[in-house]
């Protein structure tokens, strides 16, 4: 298997355990993205591997993108390319979530075929709070797992939810109380193998998108509500458009619109100002 400094792989009982180890919060730096892509490609090519468990070392799952990279020249692979590889893997990928899975970290988990989480875990897509929208499938995969209206509520609020709530919505397959999250994820992987479950990405599952006319009415109401409350903001318009495009025209079309909007918003004065405020607040926060 292929390792790099921040991503390592060990194979046990035909299951590749891919561990991200990029302290303090396992942010999706270039090295992490490259390491994940290499690990997924190696798992695909290895006939001894029948399933993959994706986990993180330390105190948390992937807590988001490396925001410090936003204002630098992009380095390949981009996160959407990594997540396409995860979703397309012909062997089940199980994300084992502890701590916080936020932003791009939650998008990684959504791209996996299954998700197991500790009861103490939290997850969400807070990009709207930085003047952005998710840029690697969050606006497309989440609605296909939990439905358009609840997904929009989560996306527009940016507020994380606890694992039990995510499970009730349909975003998490199993919530576990044991301290041995890896053991629980390996057990889940063995059950999938024993029962013959295929690696089906959310785009290939029976969709939870729901009734299209009902969703259109929900979107119209939300737009009217947001126009009154925050008409001068621009990110929410792009977010709703991305979700609506995916609903009306399919996953690939939605992903394309989402990515284009994310890149445009990332370079907007509004998002840059919010990022600077974020870094300023973090610099002032007590350390330790």
DSSP-assigned letters across all residues of 21-79: --TTTT-B-HHHHHHHHHHHHHHHH-TT--EEEEEESTT-S---B-GGGTTS---SSPH
Which residue is catalytic, options 50, 76, 127, 225?
Answer: 127
Q: Is 10 part of the annotated catalytic residue set?
A: no
How is residue 220 written in tokens? 């119209």
Beta strands 114-118; 15-20: pairing state: unpaired
**Is 69 one of the annotated active-site residues of the chain?**
no
CA distance linking residue 99 with residue 121, whole number of Å: 5
Q: Among the options 107, 162, 177, 227, which is catalytic?
A: 107
Active site residues: 107, 127
């Amino acid at each position: 298997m292929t390792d790099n400094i921040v991503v390592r792989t060990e194979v046990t009982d035909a299951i590749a355990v891919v561990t991200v180890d990029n302290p303090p919060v396992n942010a999706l730096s270039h090295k992490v993205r490259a390491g994940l892509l290499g690990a997924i490609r190696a798992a695909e090519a290895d006939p001894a591997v029948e399933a993959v468990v994706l986990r993180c070392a330390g105190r948390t799952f992937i807590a988001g993108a490396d925001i410090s990279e936003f204002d630098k020249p992009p380095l390949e692979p981009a996160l959407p390319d990594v997540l396409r590889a995860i979703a397309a893997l012909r062997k089940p990928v199980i994300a084992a979530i502890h701590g916080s899975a936020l932003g791009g970290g939650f998008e990684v988990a959504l791209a996996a075929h299954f998700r197991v989480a500790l009861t103490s875990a939290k997850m969400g897509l807070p990009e709207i709070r930085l003047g952005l929208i998710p840029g690697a499938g969050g606006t497309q995969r989440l609605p296909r797992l939990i439905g358009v209206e609840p997904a929009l509520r989560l996306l527009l609020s940016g507020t994380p939810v606890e694992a039990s709530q995510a499970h009730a919505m349909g975003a998490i397959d199993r919530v576990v109380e044991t301290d041995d999250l890896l053991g629980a994820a390996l057990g889940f992987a063995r059950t999938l193998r024993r029962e013959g479950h295929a690696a089906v990405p959310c785009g290939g599952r029976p969709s939870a998108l729901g009734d299209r006319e009902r969703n259109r009415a929900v979107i119209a109401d939300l737009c009217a509500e947001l126009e009154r409350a925050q008409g001068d903001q621009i990110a929410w318009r792009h977010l709703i458009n991305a979700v609506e495009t995916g609903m009306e025209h399919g996953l690939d079309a939605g992903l394309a619109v989402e990515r284009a909007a994310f890149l445009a918003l990332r370079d907007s004065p509004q998002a840059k100002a919010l990022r600077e405020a974020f870094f300023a607040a973090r610099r002032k926060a007590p350390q330790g």
